[in-house]
Amino acid sequence: MSKSVQKLRGLTGMKDILPGESAQWEQLEHTVRTWLASYGYRNMRAPVLEFTQLFARGIGEVTDIVEKEMYSFTDSLNGDKLTMRPEFTAGLVRSAIEHNLLYDRPHRVYSIGPVFRHERPQRGRYRQFHQIDVEALGFAGPDVDAELIIMLARLWRILGLNDVRLEINSLGQPAERAAHREALIAYLEQHKDILDEEAQRRMYSNPLRVLDTKNPAMQDMANQAPKLFDYLEADSLAHYHAVCARLDDAGIAYTLNPRMVRGLDYYNLTVFEWVTDRLGAQGTVCGGGRYDGLIEVLGGKPAPAVGFAIGMERLLDLVSQGQQQLAVPECQVYMIHQGDQAQRQAMSLAEKLRDQGVNVIVHAGSSGFKSQFKRADASGAMVAVILGESELEQQQASVKWLRADDAERPQESIAFDQLATYLQSKV
């Protein structure tokens, strides 16, 4: 008797996407790539692993991500301090700088893939999740800020979502933030007794971030706090209104949320989030904003930029609610055979079918007709092609139609050399 071996498990908060679900992911990715191309965005791919320092600098030391969510480790082979990307922007900007991408013109780019954050797993919150990340590098806006928001509204339309609403804010410029910061710290000092431990720790290092709290006991305090928006001067207000004017032109509704801070330290001017009530507590589907200071902070020649990231798990959750999961067939034709000769014949015929663009599964191994038919049904194929002794003798394949609405359709015999042409026009 073999000793039982302990089953290995995947990591908590890191989901497997099985063949039954992957079609939905691929379909969404296809829709998204087509949508991005319609605005001139091109794919860019940076590695998942970067030096930890990139994210510490590019996101900000006093942020949720850098303080407590990063998968960081020391490479035991050479001592490098590395981090699995918790978001795309820093890596894409690092890459753009390293390859002088912005030296003669701005670029519209995007990436799709996994990101990693050590958070408490729950619906809409995983430790490996996926983002669609879009960055307009080298654009000063406000036209491009508005374009990004308008293109998101189009994506929601394409996906049939009509209950994702837009919140926007402006974080102004460093001088305006400094003025507001003083007033905010004074206010927080007055309310020190209700600040939680994290807020007390951040009130001097990053007071704005205190307003981003999810602690219910601090909501009133945060709502009454001095608003950065009230400290904006003419240029920042003009930028904000220029974005709003273009949203009005496009018929896109928005609300100003003066408390919105967003996760990264280097945001300025426009920030925005798309939110829904249909996902429970994790209702933010997409967040973005302008980060004119980041490229310089990461060692590049100063250049403005703006971007956003969509959470794919949350988006798929929204899209699939109330929708029946469509079962995607594994193939169009399933080939059934009996005997060694027939199996070999099936393999060569299948190659001919594939030459004509038909998707084929040849039953693997040898088993009875009955169990092969069961597999054919389960595959979702439209047609079973049967090769038995008599078929081999007559050099003709039997074609049986499998779908429910073909139940009455008679079985047909098609000569081997006609089969590919015949099926190509019918499946």
Considering the rule CB under 6 A, would residue 52 count as an interface residue with ligand ATP? no
Considering the rule CB under 6 A, would residue 60 count as an interface residue with ligand ATP? no
How far apart are the C-alpha atoms of 384 and 408, rounded to whole Å?
15
Q: Which is nearer to ligand ATP, 212 or 330 (CB)?
A: 212
**Contact (CB, 8 A) for 288 and 309:** yes
Considering the rule CB under 6 A, would residue 309 count as an interface residue with ligand ATP? yes
Considering the rule CB under 6 A, would residue 247 count as an interface residue with ligand ATP? no
Q: Which residue is nearest to ligand ATP (CB)?
A: 311
Considering the rule CB under 6 A, would residue 286 count as an interface residue with ligand ATP? yes
Among 126, 229, 267, 291, binds ligand ATP (CB under 6 A): 126
Among 58, 207, 226, 263, binds ligand ATP (CB under 6 A): 263
Considering the rule CB under 6 A, would residue 112 count as an interface residue with ligand ATP? no
Considering the rule CB under 6 A, would residue 285 count as an interface residue with ligand ATP? yes
Sites for ligand ATP among residues 128-147 (CB under 6 A)? 129, 131
Among 57, 107, 108, 117, binds ligand ATP (CB under 6 A): 117
Near ligand ATP by CB under 6 A, which window of 138-146, 280-288, 363-371, 383-391? 280-288
Interface map 287-306 toward ligand ATP (x if CB under 6 A): x-------------------
How far apart are the C-alpha atoms of 146 and 245, rounded to whole Å?
9
Count of residues that bind ligand ATP according to CB under 6 A: 18
Q: Which is nearer to ligand ATP, 101 or 136 (CB)?
A: 136
Shortest distance in whole angstroms from residue 124 CB to ligand ATP: 6
Shortest distance in whole angstroms from residue 314 CB to ligand ATP: 4
How far apart are the C-alpha atoms of 329 and 326, rounded to whole Å?
9
Among 282, 343, 359, 424, binds ligand ATP (CB under 6 A): 282
Taking the C-alpha atoms of 361, 365, 369 and 371 in order, what is their torsion angle to the nearest 10 degrees?
-80
Considering the rule CB under 6 A, would residue 343 count as an interface residue with ligand ATP? no
Considering the rule CB under 6 A, would residue 87 count as an interface residue with ligand ATP? yes
Considering the rule CB under 6 A, would residue 172 count as an interface residue with ligand ATP? no
Near ligand ATP by CB under 6 A, which window of 117-125, 176-184, 250-258, 298-306? 117-125
Rule CB under 6 A: which residues touch ligand ATP?
87, 117, 119, 124-126, 129, 131, 263, 282, 284-287, 309, 311, 313-314
